Chains A and B, each alone.
Chain A
Amino acid sequence: MAREKVPGIVAIFSYLDDICKTVETIDKRRDFDGHEVYSHTSYHELIHLAEDKYGSSEVKWFTLVGALTGVCSGFAMCLWMDYDWPIVVGGKTAGIYSLPAYVVFGFELMILLGALATILGMFVMGRFPNPKDTVLDPRLSDDKFAVYLPGVSPDSEQAKLLKDLGAEEVYSTTGR
């Protein structure tokens, strides 16, 4: 089912310390439920706040599962193909006795599938690509920060609080 756009407000910030203080403040308040914070880059101050908010990233589990699948499939592929049709070269017996040579395949596939699974994790957990999502303000990929809050107007108490916290601009939006 397609997500419906909810009108709300966008508060634009220019300074990192202002947006950090805002995130700390509004995260504790129930009247800011459903808000979203935007940044043009990954300042460590914001990433630390995100860890407090969302907890440790689950991407690590994608990496672990991908890497383990890779290392097992690398060894399994070599052993299966070796037993399917043993190729004895230079008197070296096939199969389990050649395991040291197969470390390379286990290692390479561990890295390959681990990396691909990590990217899958970044997409799934970051909830993108999302064709329904819209760009709130083009300045957010340039040098501004923002807070989007659905279901309120620029005259609301929440908008006043955001202005007090350093927002330079608060305007209404048709939603994201």
Chain B
Amino acid sequence: MVSIWQGSYREIVWGAFMSDAVDWDKSVSDVNNGVLAATGKPHPTFYVALGLSLVCLVIGIVAWALQITYGTGMAGLNSPVYWGVYITDFVFWVGIGHAGTLISAILFLFRAKWRNSINRSAEAMTVFAVITAGLFPLIHVGRVWLAAYWMVPLPNTNNLWVNFRSPLMWDVFAISTYLTVSLTFWYMGLVPDLASMRDRTRGYKRLIYGFLSFGWTGTLRQWHHYEAGYGFLAALATPLVLSVHSIVSWDFAMSVQPGWHTTIFPPYFVAGAILSGCAMVYTLVLPFRKMFNLEGFIRHEHLEALIKLTLLTSTIVAYAYGIEFFIAWYSGNPYEWIIFQKRAYGPYAFYFWVMTFCNCVFPLAFWSKKVRNNTTACFIICVLVNVGMWFERYNIIISSLVEDFIPGSWGHYEPSLTEIAITIGSFGWFFTWLLIFCRFFPFVSMSELKLIMPKPMRPKDKSLAA
């Protein structure tokens, strides 16, 4: 009997960083033609996807407008659950944003070649996901027009400053730094490609792309300093990506709430974020490469490496789930232990088991090479991982808040229609921006893709060279 379990853990870890050698059927000369031809004329499904995204976005805008008009009571947040779906969405979208920086910065430092075909899409996903995440604290506080006074160190009418010892304040700085650095890292990567687009267009388009590319000409001097700077940006972004979700986890871990007050949270959150981010990159790249006819450049070897990375992080997350339970039991703290028992068997058990199966059990199928090379199966599992990661955040937030130390204040929480509509709207907002980006800018980093393709060397046979 042939075992379906192919590949050791070592092979999976190695494969997550180093993809198999690619037998390219395209050359460097095909890159600009192939990538840019698709940018101008997407597949009709692009317009269907854009239409659906806009519908979702409108649903979210209407729900938010109603919440602003009638008050935050519409959100269904009440004692004891003051953090609900909005904070779940915030953590979920910040987490989605993590894979982009992992792929673009950490894998760049590891010199993992496969990242060159998908880093642009992952970075775009990061930027739009973090922008989406940034909306949720504003939606959550209700009076959004006053948020600047609560979130940034501006003196208010009493000349008070913000509380720098609050993890929420740490979060403001972490997320805004992450957004700025991700945005600049992504944009600097785009500059040589924008110059390629400028050189292929005429009229006003040439003017726009020329302006956006900062007059990049590709001299050796420019590449020399560009490469050095890109390396420093990657080196700065690497500790940043690890710090951001650690700081998000401190929003919870710094409290004394049972189920939250644990030292495992920072690595657990970072691993979860990378898992959800990798799954989301796969979920996006698979249809987008079809939509923009990029199958020749985003190869199955690259997708398989991404799946190996997803499997690797899934095993870390599964380990964290287990250790979290073990610590709750081993600590001898009855409040902590009962929360964990109730997570598994209490009124919110459904969310817990969805989370466990989607994040730990279904990805086990990725041990099989057959599954890893079956794009439909991988797509379905990656969507399930995304569902599982949303449920993970919901499970952590809600199950700890509904029942704390005082039984008299225990309550129950279900998301309201407004919260559900705004969550749908956040997906619409995210996908609308991403689709607009792909329509006008290259979805694959052309200048970096050329680096992993066979180098244009003079053929040994002189007749071929001529």
A contacts, CB < 8 Å to B: 14-18, 23, 36-43, 46-47, 49-51, 53-54, 56-60, 63, 67, 77-78, 81-82, 84-85, 87, 89, 92, 98, 101-102, 104-105, 107-109, 111-112, 114-116, 118-119, 121-123, 125-131, 133, 135-136, 138, 140-143, 166, 176
Contacts and interface: CB of A to CB of B under 8 A. Distances in A.
A43 B447 CA distance: 10
12 contacts: A18-B458, A40-B28, A46-B220, A53-B220, A57-B228, A85-B160, A87-B163, A111-B240, A118-B232, A121-B225, A123-B214, A129-B215
A116 B451 CA distance: 26
Nearest to B170: A104
A17 B456 CA distance: 8
B173 A46 contact: no
Contacts of B29: 142-143
B243 interface: yes
B223 interface: yes
A126 B226 CA distance: 7
5 nearest CB pairs, A to B: A57-B228, A138-B199, A50-B224, A122-B229, A129-B214
Most chain B CB within 10 A, of A18, A102, A142, is at A142
B450 A41 contact: yes
Most chain A CB within 10 A, of B217, B247, B447, is at B217
Contacts of B217: 38, 128, 133, 135-136, 140, 176
B225 A17 contact: no
Given A16-B457, A141-B196, 17 more contacts: A23-B220, A36-B221, A40-B218, A54-B221, A56-B228, A57-B225, A77-B153, A81-B162, A101-B165, A105-B164, A112-B177, A115-B184, A118-B229, A121-B229, A126-B222, A128-B222, A143-B29
Nearest to B217: A133
A66 to B, nearest CB: 9
B159 interface: yes
A41 B173 contact: no
Contacts of B215: 128-131, 133
Contacts of B31: 143
Nearest to A137: B199
Nearest to B448: A41
Contact of A135 (B173, B180, B198, B448): B198
Interface of A (DSSP majority class): helix
A126 to B, nearest CB: 4
B233 interface: yes
B239 interface: yes
Interface string B431-466: 000000000000000011011000111100000010
Given A116-B184, A141-B195, A85 B159 contact: yes
B450 A40 contact: yes
A46 B218 CA distance: 12
Contact of A98 (B28, B165, B233, B247): B165
Contacts of B220: 23, 36-39, 46, 49-50, 53
Given A37-B219, A128-B222, A135 B199 contact: yes
Contacts of B230: 122
Contact of B223 (A16, A42, A112, A142): A42
B216 interface: yes
A53 B181 CA distance: 30
B237 interface: yes
A32 B101 CA distance: 42
Contacts of A126: 219, 221-222, 224-226
Contact of A60 (B180, B218, B228, B457): B228
Given A59-B228, A101-B164, A115-B185, A39 B174 contact: no
Given A57-B229, A115-B180, A143 B224 contact: no
A126 B191 CA distance: 13
A60 B164 CA distance: 31
B458 A15 contact: yes
Nearest to B457: A17
Interface string B178-199: 0011001100100010011011
B232 A16 contact: no
A78 B451 contact: no
A140 B218 contact: yes
B164 A43 contact: no
Nearest to B180: A112
Contacts of A142: 29, 32, 196, 199
Given A42-B226, A81-B161, A119 B457 contact: no
A41 B165 contact: no
A87 B457 contact: no
A130 B214 CA distance: 7
A165 to B, nearest CB: 11
B227 interface: yes
A2 to B, nearest CB: 15
Nearest to A105: B173
A112 B164 contact: no
A142 B450 CA distance: 10
B236 interface: yes
Nearest to B250: A104
Given A85-B160, A115-B181, A41 B225 contact: no
Contacts of A57: 224-225, 227-229
